A and B are shown apart, each in its own frame.
Chain A
Amino acid sequence: MAKPALLLLHGMGKFTAPGKAAKGKTAHGSFGKEFIKAATESLQRYEKYQSKSIEDFVEIHEFNYDAWFDKMRKEMANRSKAMKDRLDAVAGKYGVTFPLDLAGLLTSLEADFGDDDFFHTHWLDVIFYTTMLGAKVRVDAGIKIAELVTSHEQGNVHIMAHSLGTAVLHDTLHLLYRPESDPEDQIRDLHPTNHKLGSIWMVANVSRLINSFTQLANPMKSVVKPGDAGCTNFFFNVRHKMDPFTWLSRFDPVNNGAWVPESIYASAYKNIVTDLVVEGNTHSFTQYLNDPAVAEPFLHRLTPFEVTLTEMDKVREEYSKQSINGAFAVLEDSFHNLRVKEVGSWREFLDAGEALQVAAEKIKNGL
């Protein structure tokens, strides 16, 4: 049996794309490096694996869409900058207010797309994804998934996505897999049985929230689920209790047979809720992955992970000592205006981000 393949999809923010390394190998991108570091640290906490790396057990692949988003926003900015000056000049000269003012304003906003501030490197990713640019990203993600399913065995491809990546992954799989796949289709869909994934890891899952903006596919009713009607054997949903991005339109199916049969829910779905605060940014991918509550089932699924219950408990206890005293209270205080809501809006999404930034900064600076 070949090593399992793990495909990683990053969230919003700046991530370098994987590149070519010597001898035809791939050099990992920044998200891949983050993952390898965190997963290896988690693995090495267990005595038997102290000299091991996650790459000894898992073949790491990445799908990067940020590099293309970055290219698009910079191209838009460059075009707009050239146009902006001319518009300003003409509008002033002729005393024309509308529509040159409006066009000027729009062009001016777009000219700032090239800036590398938080809005343009993070929020703009989400905005871009909700437009037709997202459709292109999904096609490219589909290619990567189909490539891995071709080269690896049925059930031997696993995917982990974080934040915005969970929406990219959900939407792509929903459009890529269909049970009624017809061999004469123009583009043959992948089959939920024949091309079944080993496991899906949705870390800080915002797929329902993003779907409330795009109206593309409801994650509660899609093929992205475990079991016979789904595209994966196992589904892991991970969230931090104090990650406000997971408070809006939370993906949290209940075991009543509506999403998947109850026996499948019990044996193939796991909802992991973490609560330790080791770094102020509770949305951070590495904080999620470092937490033994996540690392344990992850390593159990993708590596041999021959570890006793006693050692698992010991590792959890040791890790909990890294928790920052008082951080939970700071987060609670910062989020006092935020609510867990069934339907989230853009405004609330932005509010959640701002509140988290404030709290993370406070914790970083010693509360």
Chain B
Amino acid sequence: MKRITGVVFLFLFIVTNGYADTTVGFSCIEDTAEKSQFFPEIQASARKINQAVCDAILAPTRKSITEGFPRDEVAAFGGLVKNSVDARFGTVKLDALQKQLLYFEAILATGDRYPKAMPRFNVEKSIDPRDPKIFYYFSGNQKEQGFLTEKEEKKCEAEATLKAPCSVVLMQLDLAIFPYQRNANAFTAHDTQAKLGELSKQWDSYFEGARAQSFVDIAITTLIERSHFKTDHLVGPPERQWFVLHPNVVVENVEAGPDGENTKLALTIEWIGVNWWRDSVIGMPFGISLTSLYSDRPEVNDVGHGVSLYFDNKYMIGYANHGGKNGIFVSMDLLKLFEDKTKEAERYRENIKGLLE
């Protein structure tokens, strides 16, 4: 019953969520900054967009980030900013500012379902503390940045609608524009963080659940799986683990050995091996290695050569040929599993016996 409920729940989850961008743990950000002195209408519009983006993100029926995105409002925002700034600046003309505003208007109008870029208006101190200047630009258009000369700084003070240094006016413009992109950009970063969290868990599974590797094994896996690691994005663990000169302790049985010497502890060296640690064609983690085995038994060659097969990242069974005599070996884990099963069977037998008596 539990399983059926789980499947139904999973089905409903997929149907209602579709594309799985991650809202879990995301809280919308409300802009609570002080009121923009010179551009309150821009700030109000920016905050409205921010709220609309939030509503779209948290809508229960949303299938992707683009669904419900206030596309038209954002596209119109660039024009609104330009018109408001033009009106407020009056006769003050800052050439670089005009270029920046045109860039902003154009960039918000691009993109199909939502804008590719939602830049911030930056007002920055220059890089050198010994040459203090104020720079301004929209992110993405730094190449056309403007900087305020002393002469330009004073222009705004002379304007009746401003009566403040230009740097102060521009900072107020940043304050006003800033909120429009806050939730959209925070959410996409949050989604990236959540997806990377899943990758990190895969890595944890690799190091905790896959076969333990020596440093040499790790180095050889890095080399052989290099195409996996050299992609253009952050990656999880590879599908395959590789092993070279990997030692192991096993229990071997040689049927043709002298009586009392058939089953002995032995050491194996995997010359080279591969393990599909997560899944494989047989429906479970599976690995295979070319193996040499060393054991001490009269009338049987000490050294045998053969293969080892790994199941579920821990159980190993193998075959080795000692100069014509066959040996079958198992890992200690597998032996322990057999022992546990034998003990379990013995316990059942005792229980049944007790009941019958």
Contact = CB atoms under 8 A, between A and B. Distances in A.
Given A107-B247, A131-B218, A270-B128, A227 B142 contact: yes
Interface in B159-183: 178, 181-182
B308 interface: no
A135 B247 contact: no
B154 to A, nearest CB: 21
Interface in B214-231: 214-216, 218-219, 221-222, 225, 229-230
Interface in B84-123: 113-114, 116-120, 122
A87 B246 CA distance: 11
Nearest to B271: A99
B143 A234 contact: no
A264 B233 CA distance: 26
Interface in B196-251: 196-197, 199-200, 203, 207, 212, 214-216, 218-219, 221-222, 225, 229-230, 232-238, 245-247, 249
Contacts of B233: 175-176, 178, 187, 189
A300 B119 CA distance: 24
A258 interface: no
A183 B200 contact: no
B16 interface: no
Contacts of B191: 188
A37 interface: no
Contact of A193 (B19, B139, B215): B139
A147 B118 CA distance: 19
A57 B129 CA distance: 17
Interface in A175-196: 175-176, 178, 181, 183-184, 186-196
Contacts, number: 215
B195 A228 contact: no
B203 to A, nearest CB: 4
B269 interface: yes
Interface string B121-155: 01011111110000100011111010100000000
Interface stretch (A148-156, A240-248, A353-361): A148-156
Contact of A136 (B113, B189, B200, B302): B200
B178 A187 contact: no
A131 B196 contact: no
A86 B332 CA distance: 14
A138 B186 CA distance: 21
Contacts of B130: 296, 309, 312
Contacts of B303: 94, 96
A226 interface: yes
Given A136-B203, A139-B196, A189-B192, A76 B119 contact: no
A367 interface: no
Contacts of B269: 99-100, 103
A194 B128 contact: no
B215 A195 contact: no
A35 interface: no
Interface string A101-142: 011001100100100000000000000001111011011101
Interface string B288-305: 000010101000001100
Contacts of A27: none
B267 A194 contact: no
Interface residues of B, number: 79
Contacts of B61: none
Interface string A322-341: 00000000000000000000
A312 B131 CA distance: 12
Contacts of B215: 76, 110, 113, 131
The CB with the most chain B CB atoms within 10 A, among A87, A228, A296, is that of A228
B196 A79 contact: no
The CB with the most chain B CB atoms within 10 A, among A1, A72, A107, A188, is that of A188
Contacts of A186: 195
Contacts of B196: 139, 142-143, 146, 187
Contacts of B355: none
B216 to A, nearest CB: 5
A234 B137 CA distance: 13
B351 interface: no
Given A107-B214, A147-B193, 7 more contacts: A76-B215, A132-B229, A143-B197, A176-B192, A187-B196, A216-B229, A268-B142
Interface of A: 1, 72, 76, 79-80, 83, 86-87, 90, 93-94, 96, 99-100, 102-103, 106-107, 110, 113, 130-133, 135-136, 138-140, 142-143, 146-147, 149-151, 153-155, 172, 175-176, 178, 181, 183-184, 186-196, 215-216, 226-228, 233-234, 261, 263-264, 267-270, 296-297, 299-301, 305, 307, 309, 312
29 contacts: A87-B247, A90-B294, A94-B303, A107-B214, A110-B216, A131-B215, A131-B222, A132-B218, A132-B221, A133-B218, A135-B203, A143-B196, A183-B64, A183-B113, A184-B64, A187-B233, A188-B21, A188-B192, A190-B189, A193-B117, A193-B119, A194-B184, A196-B120, A226-B142, A227-B143, A263-B145, A267-B127, A270-B127, A297-B129
